[in-house]
A and B are shown apart, each in its own frame.
Chain A
């Protein structure tokens, strides 16, 4: 692949491999950050009573558990949807349309 796309052909459509790699890494980092924003907001509601002078250990433990259970929930839902879809494809019609 590398031999066929020489640097002289870098006119149209060719993507700098270094740039492509950079974009992949950055968008992965961005997905991570986005989920951190989302979970912080969600867990703040569950774990924060009144903001005190420091984050106490109980609240901190709550945040950690909250993250773990959120990811568990997301995986559970994904698995269950996959299973029900296999045994009884409810969405097949709407998806295949």
Chain B
């Protein structure tokens, strides 16, 4: 995947880059970065909530807790996103 990005940006079509291709690649890279960001923060938060004392394996109740925590984290993310968006909208209307 990385070599794909690199070689395409290198300009295989003789230095002239297709804006459409660049935009597509930028979109993919942004999506990947956002997914990684979410995964990292979610793992951190749910580990803290669900793993009290790390045992010999991820037991059943811990797995249930993690699954629930993931869903609630997504709910929280969406709630925050909506709240921030409506705040921005209100401030724009007041300008």
Report chain A residues within 8 Å CB of B38: 37
Indicate the size class of the contact surface on chain B.
20 to 34
Query: Is A68 positioned at the interface, with any CB of B under 8 Å from its CB?
Result: yes
Summed over the interface, the residue pairs from A and B with CB atoms below 8 Å come to a total of: 84
Known contacts A36-B84, A41-B41, then 9 further A-B pairs from the complex at CB < 8 Å, ordered by chain A residue: A32-B84, A36-B80, A37-B34, A39-B80, A40-B73, A51-B72, A52-B72, A53-B68, A71-B84
Secondary structure call for the B interface: helix
| B76 close to A71 (CB less than 8 A) | no
With A and B bound together, what is the CA distance between A38 and B21 in angstroms? Answer: 30
Measuring CB to CB, which residues of chain B are less than 8 angstroms from any residue of chain A? 19, 22-23, 26-27, 30, 34, 37-38, 41, 45-46, 49, 65, 68-69, 71-73, 75-77, 79-81, 83-85, 87-88
